[in-house]
């Protein structure tokens, strides 16, 4: 049984269709990255999945529970980090987590113990009794994730969880996502950070203008949308672009004192560059190969540039 099963979701705001006939299913233990440009419909989808918004059409099951017919039971299975974190400024970090535990129906001793252990993991042990009012954005976000995971949810849904955070907070938030995953949670996270999705996610869905444009493993998406590789090379003396003419070369782009040479067969290309450099008495100053990037796949799918 999938942790998230959404079928044919549509949500309109007046004339705008923010989410358009979107179906997706996330299996237990996946880290699913939901990528898309600004305004694509990521936040609206996450709000639908967490029951904050009601879809105009479509159905949602969380851990097999229908969100519309049993919203409380479905919400108990979820931990949610919304776009703008909602922590109570007048409460301490510890009080925020303990309160969240209470709202999820955890017994007092259990919620206190878990809150302290989480604050320790989130690097906030020495600030636990301080009011959140004085915290930086990154520290608030750490409190927010602590509140969201206090009840060890089966599904953790996060909206751009690391956007705008300092380096230390980002690392701690990513570590907490990984830890929840290791402990058995399913993760659904929206992001427009392609590198982060590439590093963290087992599967990626790309949303564009309310429609799911593609899903797949990050590596598969890369291969599908850009099968070319490139080689960056420079010599101690300059050569012209025609020097690279070779059957496997697709195109040559000058880049400062280097050339980027695109090929479908980088092995053959590198060997020919080295052989021809020896033949012509050229000295190679640098030589690097580059694979296709997820960013290129993303641009190919969304048609933006």
Ligand X SMILES: Nc1ncnc2c1ncn2[C@@H]1O[C@H](COP(=O)(O)OP(=O)(O)O)[C@@H](O)[C@H]1O
Q: How many CB atoms lie within 10 A of CB 223?
A: 14
Phi-psi region of 30 (alpha: psi -120 to 50; beta: other; left: phi over 0): beta
Q: Which does residue 172 bind out of ligand X, Mg ion, none, counting CB within 5 to 8 angstroms by kind?
A: none
Q: CA of 1: how far to CAs of 48, 62, 190, 198, in Å? A: 20, 10, 22, 26
Residues 143, 28, 209, 83: what is their CA dihedral angle, to the nearest 10 degrees?
A: -10
> Which stretch, 10-18, 70-78, 277-285, 287-295, contacts ligand X (CB under 6 A)?
10-18
Interface map 149-188 toward Mg ion (x if CB under 5 A): ----------------------------------------
Given candidates 8, 13, 164, 251, which one binds ligand X under the rule CB under 6 A? 13
Q: Does 35 bind ligand X (CB under 6 A)?
A: no
The site partner of 55 among ligand X, Mg ion, none (C-beta below 5 to 8 Å per kind) is none
The one among 24, 40, 43, 235 contacting Mg ion by CB under 5 A: 43
Distance CA 169, CA 80 (A): 18
42 lies in the binding site for ligand X (CB under 6 A) = yes
Contact 150, 115 (CB under 8 A): yes
Cβ pair 111, 187 in contact under 8 A: no
Residue written as token pair 């992001």: 191
Strand order in the sheet with 211-216: 78-81, 155-159, 186-191, 31-35, 203-208, 211-216
Task: Please report how close the Cβ of residue 210 comes to ligand X at its closest, in angstroms.
Answer: 7
- Identify which range of 40-48, 67-75, 232-240, 249-257 contacts ligand X by CB under 6 A: 40-48
Total of chain residues touching ligand X, rule CB under 6 A: 11
Q: Which stretch binds ligand X (CB under 6 A): 32-40, 105-113, 149-157, 237-245?
A: 32-40
* Residue ranges binding ligand X (CB under 6 A): 13, 16, 18, 36, 38-44
């Amino acid at each position: 049984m999938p942790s998230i099963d959404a079928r044919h979701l549509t949500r309109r705001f007046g004339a705008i269709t923010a989410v358009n006939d979107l179906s997706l299913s996330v299996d237990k233990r996946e880290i699913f990255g939901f990528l898309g440009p600004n305004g694509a419909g990521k936040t609206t989808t996450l709000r639908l999945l967490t029951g904050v918004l009601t879809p105009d059409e479509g159905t949602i099951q969380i851990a097999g529970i229908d969100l519309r017919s049993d919203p409380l039971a479905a919400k108990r299975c979820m931990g949610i980090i919304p776009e703008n974190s909602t922590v109570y400024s007048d409460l301490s970090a510890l009080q925020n987590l303990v309160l969240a535990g209470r709202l999820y129906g955890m017994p007092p001793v259990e919620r206190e113990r878990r809150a302290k252990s989480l604050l320790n993991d989130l690097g906030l042990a020495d600030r636990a009794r301080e009011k959140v009012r004085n915290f930086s954005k990154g520290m608030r976000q750490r409190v927010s994730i602590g509140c969201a995971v206090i009840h060890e949810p089966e599904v953790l849904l996060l909206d751009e969880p690391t956007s705008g955070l300092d380096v230390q907070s980002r690392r701690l938030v990513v570590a907490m996502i990984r830890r929840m995953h290791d402990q058995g949670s399913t993760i659904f996270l929206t992001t427009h950070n392609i590198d982060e999705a590439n590093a963290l996610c087992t599967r990626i869905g790309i949303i564009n203008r309310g429609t799911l444009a593609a899903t797949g493993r990050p590596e598969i998406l890369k291969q599908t949308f850009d099968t070319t590789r490139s080689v960056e090379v420079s010599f101690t003396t300059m050569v012209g672009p025609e020097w690279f003419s070779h059957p496997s070369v697709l195109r040559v782009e000058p880049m400062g004192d280097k050339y980027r040479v695109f090929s479908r067969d980088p092995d053959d290309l590198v060997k020919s560059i080295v052989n021809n450099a020896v033949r012509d008495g050229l000295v190679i100053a640098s030589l690097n190969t580059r694979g296709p990037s997820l960013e290129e796949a993303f641009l190919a799918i969304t048609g933006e540039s």
